[in-house]
Structure 1
Amino acid sequence: MPIATVNPATGETIKTYDALGEEEIERRLAIAESTFRTYRTTSLDERARLLRRAADLLDEDAEDVAYAMTTEMGKPIKQARAEAAKCAKAMRWYADHAAQLLADEEPDASDVEDSGASRVLVRYRPLGPVLAVMPWNFPLWQVVRFAAPALMAGNVGLLKHASNVPQTALYLEDLFRRAGFPEGCFQTLLIGSREVEGILRDPRIRAATLTGSEPAGRSVASVAGDEVKKTVLELGGSDPYVVMPSADIDRAAKTAVTARVQNAGQSCIAAKRFIVHTDVFDAFAERFTEGMKALKVGDPLEEDTDVGPLSSKQGRHDLEELVVDAVESGATVLCGGVRAEGSGWYYPPTVLTDVTGDMRIHHEEAFGPVATLYRVTDLDEAVAVANDSPFGLSSNVWTRDESEIDRFVRDLEAGGVYVNGMTASHPAFPFGGAKRSGYGRELSGHGMREFCNITTVWHGA
């Protein structure tokens, strides 16, 4: 795949880039290892100062970087600005909280005494250079939510970004450089996917994190496992959105539209399967479909656009195949379902019902603005349908019944349960999934410690 910016709203290639050669890759690996030896000794106060400076610069650059994201992968410009602001917020959060999250821990005095020690500490030490393989759908946020905690913990990062967002990838390297981080703390590697294995096998790389497709995660995990290296994987999602009779149906339907079409539906944590109790199914379906029909699809640079193009022609083709398969197998189209002719890789907001288990869309992730509606008769069936997926990233449940909430929290197979709201990541809360949605956690202290050497320090009496 070429490394290029191709505007998905027009199909126009804006700029192409040469991939790094072997000598340059080696030079950057050497710099990363050398920088880590000294950067790991810097104080948390100094790291926090640098990260806050990066946040300030990002705020200053917000309009330019938002424009770059929109022209590279198609998200509406207002969503791109929000992504930049979220990244700056996360940087400041880690700068403010890292000292607390990485503070030494002391076990109970009775356990220390029982071990024969005079003192025991648990200390969090950085691992070293970490390879980050990141996707195009949130090209700034996906990287920052790794980079901010990793840099605060004393690690250094090497970014292999998706090949269709090179401008954003290069911006990130430049941002950390301008903020004052030492050379080699954060480097962007403009390389193809074939070079990832060799870099991951290099002994100077101590760990890897990947957000992306299940096949990509399986590949990275296999290589890292062979090399006995730590990995964190955030893969696909087909999140359930369950609506029960006690829910506020108007609010649930309105929120459902946003939950499905954020980033043109190209989000792992977007709600995709809407599981609605039969008592409120018709009312919800009507309101939800009306909301989907009312969305403005168009030029992502226009301020009032709700849904931009998909990121690639292939992505639209894959989504279209899922819809065609469902319709040919008996699904009913409540809106959308047929792409308009013209330039750009647009696909209309689409709602399908009468979905059955033999349809591909029931088991595969629909990465675009296509929603599937399921009618269920009771709580048991709602839980069963929600869990009938190979994925388990997050989930959304709408109910005022506390016993139902307890049941969903207990039984839903997902890394998150969002009650009466939509899934959204926040730097203070751990983020990650179960089943084929991956393993490990990003964000919060849990995410920061994923790339730490958790060290027991035992002092004899």
Structure 2
Amino acid sequence: MYRVEQLIAGAWVAGGDGRFEVVDPADGTPVSDVPVATAADVDAAVKAARQAAPRWARTPAAERAAALRRAADTLEAEADRLAEAQTAEMGRPVGGARGGVEAGVATLRQYAELGPVHGGRTLAGASDAIDLMAYEPRGVVAAITPWNDAVAVSCGLLGAALVTGNTVIYKPSERTPATGWLLARILAEHLPEGVLSLLTGDGAVGAALTGQEVDVVAHVGSTATGRAIAAACAATGAKALLENGGSDPLIVDAEVDPVWAAQQAATGAFANSGQICVAVERIYVHRSVADRFLGELVQRCADLRVGPGRDPRTELGPLVDRRHREHVHAQVAAAVADGATVLHGGAVPDGPGAFYPPTVLADCADAMAVMREETFGPVAPVMVVDSFDEALSRACSSPYGLAASVLTASMSNAQRAWRELPVGTVKINAVFGGAPGGAAHPRRGSGQGFGYGPELLDELTVTKAVHLEPPGGPHPHW
């Protein structure tokens, strides 16, 4: 069992007001014993970060980048340990968990390269003056991260914040606290005292942290939590940087290969048991390919190997816990009650753990929660449409704006889709993928601000306009 500690003012302490336990979602066995941060812990962490901020901001960017590179090297060496912790805490198949750690390593290295060249710019002013725009760190960043891809997402927010000269209070999800603790230990080994703090606990701890006098709250997680954070930041004046929920559509156009389309849909809907921010959440398939597409999608479900994440043969692990399974199944049951047809899955299995089968629902309607809200589970709800126009119109009708995927053989439809879909990321003929450094603005209920890429460095810095000119009269030393 992992016995998690908190990092406050450079010291690892048990601290907390009581402790809680995280269990393995595959079999219910205890995994992590975790402290719940007190108000005093939160206050002490923020004060330590504030005290360390000026010195870290003055540290040359090349030195900050070197610290990040060393941390990336250590994380790479400890990749198996981090992957095993994530699998134990939230059930992700160990191969996928290791891929998440590898993505985190690459992200730290990317920001180590970008940080020192993230400069300002000079302006064309008077010939005897100097005008420039200079970047400075914002100060103290509260990073509140999710459980579904704990290492990769945390490395993005922490790496960008640290390399730009901010100090950080890191609060990982209460569902993956040991994973966050192990990551924090690796990072802290290479940082000065007070630059990084770790607090653990539930939403109440996160709320206490966002109510403090921090300069940025960076959050990846649910829309409800994101809105609460935005309200808290409005009161304190902190910048809110949010990537929240989504209900990402997949459009399957006419004349595409239905076998290939079903493989893409299955990957998008079932990877990490559907617990991915940009997972396929709702599918609009053209009538001309619908029957073959649905048949192939059901076959993909039947072929998936379901089991505990620690088994290297597993393709579909459990959901993060039984509470989340209740949420997923409630949406499926409500859809069936409203007329949806279960083509595969759709039932809570007997036995231990939080397993849920890959599920395909046909005859879905716009008003159903599975088509309107974020399910975050291995559920593929399908609506058959008569035209690309209809599919695009339905896909655009959502309170979210995170991502969308389009499978089409028509260049004109592809061009129209990426221009009209009101989301931050559009993927044509692939449900996942993209070049390194890609970044996007989530919209509406899905958040605000860049959460990845070089642009995240801009989000975590402030720009100062500077004008220098000679003093009046004689100035021999100018």
Deviation at 1:49, TM superposition (A): 1.0
Structure-2 separation of matches of 1:177 and 1:58: 12
Task: Check whether the contact 2:36–2:205 (CA below 8 A) recurs between aligned residues.
Answer: no
Task: Check whether the contact 1:3–1:163 (CA below 8 A) recurs between aligned residues.
Answer: no
Deviation at 1:44, TM superposition (A): 1.6
- Which one-letter code corresponds to 1:218 in the other structure? R
Pick aligned residue for 2:43 from 12, 22, 26: 26
Task: Check whether the contact 1:4–1:165 (CA below 8 A) recurs between aligned residues.
Answer: no
* DSSP-derived class of the 1:397 partner: strand
The alignment's TM-score, normalised by the length of structure 1, stands at 0.94
Structure-1 separation of matches of 2:19 and 2:321: 13
Identity across matched positions, percent = 31
What residue in structure 2 maps to residue 357 of structure 1? 366
What residue in structure 2 maps to residue 86 of structure 1? 103
Partner deviation per Cα, 1:59-109 (whole Å, 9 max, x = no partner): 111111111000001100010111111100111111122233x122234x4
Deviation at 1:425, TM superposition (A): 7.0
Deviation at 1:432, TM superposition (A): 4.0
Structure-2 separation of matches of 1:280 and 1:141: 36
Alignment of 1:206-245 (within 5 A): 206-245=215-254
What residue in structure 2 maps to residue 171 of structure 1? 182
Pick aligned residue for 1:146 from 157, 162, 179: 157
- Which one-letter code corresponds to 1:135 in the other structure? P
| Counterpart check, 1:202 vs 2:212 | yes
Structure-1 separation of matches of 2:187 and 2:408: 44
Partner deviation per Cα, 1:328-369 (whole Å, 9 max, x = no partner): 111011111112100000000000011012322221111110
- Which one-letter code corresponds to 1:20 in the other structure? A
* DSSP-derived class of the 2:78 partner: helix
| Counterpart check, 1:97 vs 2:108 | no
What residue in structure 2 maps to residue 121 of structure 1? 132
Q: Where does structure 2 lack aligned partners over 5 or more consecutive residues?
A: 1-17, 471-478
* DSSP-derived class of the 2:394 partner: helix
Deviation at 1:267, TM superposition (A): 1.3
Alignment of 1:32-111 (within 5 A): 32-100=49-117, 102-107=118-123, 109=124
Task: Check whether the contact 1:233–1:440 (CA below 8 A) recurs between aligned residues.
Answer: yes
What residue in structure 2 maps to residue 159 of structure 1? 170
Task: Check whether the contact 1:127–1:155 (CA below 8 A) recurs between aligned residues.
Answer: yes
Structure-1 separation of matches of 2:432 and 2:19: 33
Compared with structure 1, are the counterparts of its residues 425 and 43 closer, same or farther at alpha carbon in structure 2 (3 Å cutoff)? farther
Partner deviation per Cα, 1:389-417 (whole Å, 9 max, x = no partner): 22110011112322111111111011011
- Which one-letter code corresponds to 2:368 in the other structure? M
The alignment's TM-score, normalised by the length of structure 2, stands at 0.91
- Name the count of aligned residue pairs: 453
Partner deviation per Cα, 1:43-64 (whole Å, 9 max, x = no partner): 1211111111111111111111
Deviation at 1:248, TM superposition (A): 4.0
| Counterpart check, 1:135 vs 2:146 | yes
* DSSP-derived class of the 1:140 partner: helix
Task: Check whether the contact 1:2–1:163 (CA below 8 A) recurs between aligned residues.
Answer: no
Pick aligned residue for 1:311 from 316, 320, 324: 320
* DSSP-derived class of the 2:334 partner: helix
Partner deviation per Cα, 1:411-430 (whole Å, 9 max, x = no partner): 10110111111134765011
* DSSP-derived class of the 1:417 partner: strand
Structure-2 separation of matches of 1:28 and 1:404: 52
